[in-house]
Amino acid sequence: MNLYLKIRRTLLAILGWFLIIFGIYFLPRGIIEGSTMILIGLIFLYYALKKSPIHYKG
């Protein structure tokens, strides 16, 4: 289960950075498309870097 979480976080982080970079690339072409890609990339990074509920013992 721990390996699954690491793989999932890594894939989410890679996808998030990919969307942010392409969002910046598409920003001059279309403000809505570029900003949407950046926003979705930031959401993916948030979920990748957020602590998992498994780590909380409280």
Q: Identify the band that residue 6 occupies on the pLDDT scale cut at 50, 70 and 90.
A: confident
Q: Count of domains in the chain?
A: 1
Residue 13 lies in a domain: yes
Residue 35 lies in a domain: yes
Residue 56 lies in a domain: no
Domain range for 30 is 2-50
Residue 26 lies in a domain: yes
Residue 14 lies in a domain: yes
Stretch 49-56: mean pLDDT, rounded?
62
Kindly give the residue spans of alpha helices, DSSP state H, lying in 1-50. Answer: 2-26, 31-49
**pLDDT beyond 50 at 58:** no
Stretch 21-34: mean pLDDT, rounded?
89
**pLDDT beyond 90 at 55:** no
Residue 57 lies in a domain: no
**pTM surpassing 0.85?**
no
Half-sphere exposure of 2 (CA within 13 A, CB side): 1
